[in-house]
Amino acid sequence: METESAPKVVKSDAEWRAELTPAEYQVLRRAGTERPFAGEYTDTKTEGVYACRACGAELFRSDAKFESHCGWPSFFTPLAGDAVIERVDTSMGMRRVEVVCATCHSHLGHVFEGEGYATPTDLRYCINSISMRLVPTQD
């Protein structure tokens, strides 16, 4: 994954608030979490690319999405190694790894390792639906 660097898309807090809905702002800019099983992409099977809802950067492909039954869309790998940044998150009294968009540093979710899913990476990128937009593949 990409090392921490300055975001390529920089906006003021007021600009983010103006562009995002209150729910999008809470997740993307304040590292919130949407309720489990409530997101629009939790069970989606549509082929395409998942892009950052804040800046449009491509993050994940549908062929890396898998059923984890955790309540949020799960992917076993990002689109490219530099699409996301992983950083240690010690909030909530535990150690987790936060996943943010490498382009605008918006919060996407968390990545977990070693849970035993039958995926090529043994990783689960647990991503909030509200932090992405699905761009369907054109036939």
Q: What are phi and psi of 22, to 5 degrees?
A: -55, -40
Assess whether 126 carries a catalytic annotation: yes
Residue 3 is predicted with a pLDDT of 52
Q: What is the pLDDT of residues 27-53, one digit of tens each?
A: 999 999 999 999 999 999 999 999 999
Q: Residue 79 has what pLDDT?
A: 86
The neighbour count for residue 16, using CB atoms within 10 Å, is: 17
CA of 30: how far to CAs of 43, 45, 90, 96, 119, in Å? 25, 28, 15, 16, 30
In the chain, what are the domain boundaries? 13-136
Choice among 55, 101, 104, 126 that is catalytic: 126
pTM summary value: 0.92
Task: For domain 13-136, give the fold.
Answer: 2.170.150
Q: Low-confidence residues of the chain, pLDDT below 70? A: 1-3, 139
